[in-house]
Structure 1
Amino acid sequence: MKRDDPSKAPRIVVIGGGTGLSVMLRGLKEKPVDITAIVTVADDGGSSGILRNEMQMPPPGDIRNVLTALADVEPLLSKILEYRFQSGTGLAGHSLGNLILAAISDITGDFVTGVKEMNRVFAVRGRVLPASNQAIHLKAEMLDGSIVEGESNIPKAQGVIKRVYIEPPDVSPLEEALQAIREADGIVCGPGSLYTSLLPNLLVPHVVDEIAASQAVKMYICNVMTQPGETDEYSVSDHLKAIHDHVGHPLFDYVIVNNGEIPPEVQARYAEQGAKAVHLDLDEVARQGYRIIADRLVLFKTYLRHDAEKLSDHIYQLVESWMMRKR
């Protein structure tokens, strides 16, 4: 199958945000697939939060991360897009890629058009789309009844999350994103922050309805480590239960998890930050009706990351097998 014939390539929609999604996409873009990434617009911290407030635009950070991951450009240009100013009044803390996306959005007069132009200019393999053309405000109701406002503030609250919700609740979904879900052969959710990267996309009206109605194979990629202030002490089934509780029904056919050993010294380093390996309660996951793909899927350099190549192999093989069964 040739990469230059995307009409015959499996169509894969990935949904999420954050670093984990970008890492996975660096591997998936090397497969002969047609990728559409639907990315959260709930970020309100750092450079994204400043641009969101000052320019009244959706936050660019997660979009920029995914654009960079899928861009077919020289490594130096990728580093330029990721470059973050360390000094300068008004510049310190800003990512150059965020500023470029803000500028293109301002020039074209529309955030979605700006993202599309970035897709074209940086030769993105596939498409990157925001879940909505509007910035979303994320809020969390904690177990003690308190409300935490803002995506960046939710983990800092260090409480137990009961549920998250978006405002406005009737935010308009991007029609192109819904159409991509309808046409998909495979739909992948994650990896990424459960409450602040994945669920904000699923809470956009009609997104879950389209996923549920789709005949595509649907996969959830579970995080390797818990996230302090979000998923403390969570097992794999706890992640799935949280999604089920928010959307009202099961969404996935397969759950992809890491079962590789994490070295004790790496676990100790993460424990200092309050994180630990997600407990693999695979019997409970299977009891809930999910099929499980378990493999050694982690690499460790400075941080634990999914092995993008192996993870992409599993995704591609699942989609290919699913398509063969449908023929």
Structure 2
Amino acid sequence: MTANPAPEVSLACLGGGHGLYQTLKAARLASPHRITAIVTVADDGGSSGRLRRELGQIPPGDLRMAISALAGDSEESQFWASVLQHRFGGNGALAGHAVGNLLIAGLTELIGDEQQALDHVAGLTNSFGRVLPMALEPLEIEAEVAGLDDDPRIMREVRGQVAVASTPGTVRRVRLVPERPAANPAAVEAIRDADMITLGPGSWFSSVIPHLLVPGIADAIRESRGLRVVVLNLTAEAGETAGFSHERHIHMLAQHADGLRLDRVLVDASVLPSAGERRYLEATAGKLGATVVYDDIRAVSADGRATDIHDPEKLSAALSRVWRGR
């Protein structure tokens, strides 16, 4: 992959929510041969949660965002991307629903196949790539959380993506319900065929780690001959990873996936200014076979202030440099 079109390179990008959205925007800018978004299916909040409970379908929100991120450059494609992202206002039954969520749910009922529904919606935006759920059934996240009692040694179970993401305690471990779900075969194939696999950024326990808890996905990552790249968050998130160091993020990946092997860990150069902090991260990444790459990937606001969002253009350039330096 280079900053210019690279017709022979394929990408598989794993994650969910806003983190995956930024990664896909970055991947789109690099113009590779193929991009496949592989998306978590455990969301239980907002519009997605309502549709999941009422219809029993895979929650569509993260899938919708991925389709929008991969939208073509034409005026019509961008128009449809904005339509998918539009949310109804007001206080009625439709309030808070995204148009794209309703469209995906309606097409799924009409066609009877969620993947075909996603492909049809992607056709509206002329999406550059395909969006795949990581599993073909809605999943739940269950976490072991410390710090919810006076005794910090007591562990409590918290269930649901929203509850895990917003817990005031410290997440120690997560699992999926049902445990060991079957992977989407198309997602497994995309990972096996990819020249580069990206994991993260995003909500670590509710968008990133769940991929490693699907045995077929985890096996495909372990066995891949592609370049396996973890994109670290710019900061720990309030709630599920509050107080986590960067090396602890990597440790958590290893804890949830026995035998996990990685090749690169991409981190913004500004978040670890000291040599000591970098040594800790490099040692932890090295245990998984990975080299740490420092680069400028943080977005800056209009008034010049650093944000906690990855800049798609900077991230695209950084991933291109990682690819060239492999």
- Looking at structure 2, the residues matched to 245 and 178 of structure 1 have their Cα atoms a distance apart, in angstroms, of 22
TM (norm. structure 1) is 0.87
Work out whether 1:286 is the aligned partner of 2:282: yes
Moved more, 305-314 or 179-188: 305-314
Residues 1:114 and 2:117 are matched in the alignment: yes
Q: Output the amino acid matched with 1:134.
A: E
Q: Which of 298, 309, 313 is the aligned partner of 2:317?
A: 313
CA contact (8 A) 1:85 1:96 kept: yes
Mind listing any 5+ residue stretches in structure 1 that lack a counterpart? Answer: 263-276, 323-327
**236-245 or 76-85, which moves further after superposition?**
76-85
What residue in structure 1 maps to residue 62 of structure 2?
62
In the alignment, what sits opposite 2:209? 199
After superposition, the C-alpha distances for 1:260-296 in whole angstroms (9 at most, x for unaligned) are 379xxxxxxxxxxxxxx9x992201222313111122
- Residue equivalent to 2:261: 251
Q: For residue 18 of structure 1, what is the aligned residue in structure 2?
A: 17
Please give the per-residue CA displacement for 1:83-116, whole angstroms capped at 9, x wherever unaligned. 1111152101111111111111111112122112
Shift of 1:246: 0.5
How many Å separate the matches in 1 of 2:12 and 2:22?
A: 15
Letter of the structure 1 residue corresponding to residue 67 of structure 2: L
Which piece of structure 1 moves more, 206-215 or 291-300? Answer: 291-300
Normalised TM-score (structure 2): 0.87
Q: 1:145 aligns with which of 141, 148, 155?
A: 155
Residues 30 and 156 from structure 1, CA distance in 2 versus in 1: closer, same or farther, beyond 3 angstroms?
closer
Q: Per-residue displacement from partner, 1:185-218 (whole Å, max 9, x unpaired)? A: 1110011110010111221121111111111111
Q: Give CA-to-partner distance per residue, 1:157-194, whole Å, 9 cap, x none.
A: 21111100001113221101001111111110011110
Question: How far has the Cα of 1:81 moved from its partner?
Answer: 1.3
Secondary structure (helix, strand or coil) at the match of 1:292 reads strand
**Cα deviation digits, residues 26-47 of structure 1 (max 9, x gap):** 1210213111110000100000
Structure 2, gaps ≥5 residues long: 147-153
Q: Match of 2:10, as an amino acid? A: R
When residues 320 and 11 of structure 1 are mapped into structure 2, their CA distance, relative to the original with a 3 A threshold, is: farther
Counterpart in the other structure of 1:101: 104
RMSD after superposition: 2.4
CA contact (8 A) 2:167 2:240 kept: no
User: Is the 2:166–2:239 Cα contact (8 Å) retained in structure 1?
Assistant: yes
| 1:237 equivalent in alignment to 2:240 | no
Residue 202 of structure 2 aligns to a residue in which SS?
Answer: coil
The answer to whether residue 215 in structure 2 is matched with residue 212 in structure 1 is no
Percent identical: 32
CA distance in 1, matches of 2:308, 2:233: 10
Q: Indicate if the aligned counterparts of 2:234 and 2:271 stay in contact, CA closer than 8 A.
A: no
For 1:28, the equivalent position in structure 2 comes to 27
Segments of 4+ moved more than 6 angstroms: none
* Partner in structure 2 of residue 92 of structure 1: 95
Aligned to 2:150: none
Amino acid at match of 1:15: L
Aligned to 1:43: 43
Q: Determine if contact 2:88/2:99 at 8 Å carries over to the other structure.
A: yes
Task: Tell me which amino acid in the other structure corresponds to 2:209.
Answer: L
- Cα distance in 1 for partners of 2:220, 2:259 equals 13
Partner residue in 1 for 2:8: 9
Q: Residue 240 of structure 2 aligns to a residue in which SS?
A: coil
**1:285 counterpart SS class:** helix
Match of 2:236 among 220, 226, 233: 226
CA distance in 2 between counterparts of 1:245 and 1:280 reads 23
**In structure 2, what residue type is equivalent to 1:40?**
T
Matched residue type, 1:188: T
Q: Is the 8 A contact 1:63 1:130 kept in 2?
A: yes
